[in-house]
Amino acid sequence: MIKKSGYTLLELLVVIVIIGLLAAFGIPAFAKYGRATEASQKAEEINELFNQVRSLSLNPENTNVTSYRISFDKSTLSKHFYVLKSCVKTESDDCTGSIEIRKITLLKEQSILLSVSGSWLVDCKTKLVDGKVVCTKNIAGNNIDIYSDNNRNVLKKFTLVTTMDPYSVNITTSDL
């Protein structure tokens, strides 16, 4: 009697069904993980922006700069963004003469949650007081809800917790 080696059609179908089930459940989970990682990465970029304000204020390269300011724009429906600016000395000292240093654009599905008067969040002066950076906030409290990502199944809100003396920023994440 001759022995045949190989797989039966039933065995091959079982393997194909198992691979299909793994793909059906694995690919969406992996995609959600990728979106959550992308959202966290964007929050870290914004955190770096807030920390960069302090660093630049401690070590100003340009004597014409009076302060460094983080502003935001949520006027367009498609994309919101944060901007780090250097405010150049002007007679009115209202940061009208500013130079954009860095801009962080949020993803299409992410939105800035802030509702403040004006369009700036933090302003750090280049003139140190007792060796410390003097920063002012345009919001009440210590928490800045920087953005939420709720349209791509991430369902997270990112909040910066700030302290002013000395100026420091930490990020927290919460579920929506």
Secondary structure in 3-state letters for 52-108? HHHHHHHCCCCCCEEEEEEEEECCCCCCCEEEEEEEECCCCCCCCCEEEEEEEECCC
Under DSSP, the state recorded for 126 is S
Structure token digits, residue 153: 């199944």
Peptide bond into 166 cis (omega under 30): yes
Cα dist. 35→8, 28, 91, 168, 172 in Å?
Answer: 41, 11, 46, 28, 17
- Predicted local confidence at residue 12, as pLDDT: 94
The reported pTM is: 0.72
Mean pLDDT of the chain: 79
**Residue in the structure block whose two tokens are 């919101």:** 80
- Predicted local confidence at residue 134, as pLDDT: 77
In tens, the pLDDT along 15-34 reads 999 999 999 999 988 888 88
In tens, the pLDDT along 81-124 reads 888 888 887 766 667 778 888 998 887 777 777 666 667 888 88
Question: Do 99 and 84 meet the contact criterion of CB atoms below 8 Å apart?
Answer: no
- Predicted local confidence at residue 92, as pLDDT: 65
Question: Do 135 and 57 meet the contact criterion of CB atoms below 8 Å apart?
Answer: yes
With 0-12 / 13-18 / 19 or more C-beta atoms within 10 angstroms meaning exposed / middle / buried, residue 50 is buried
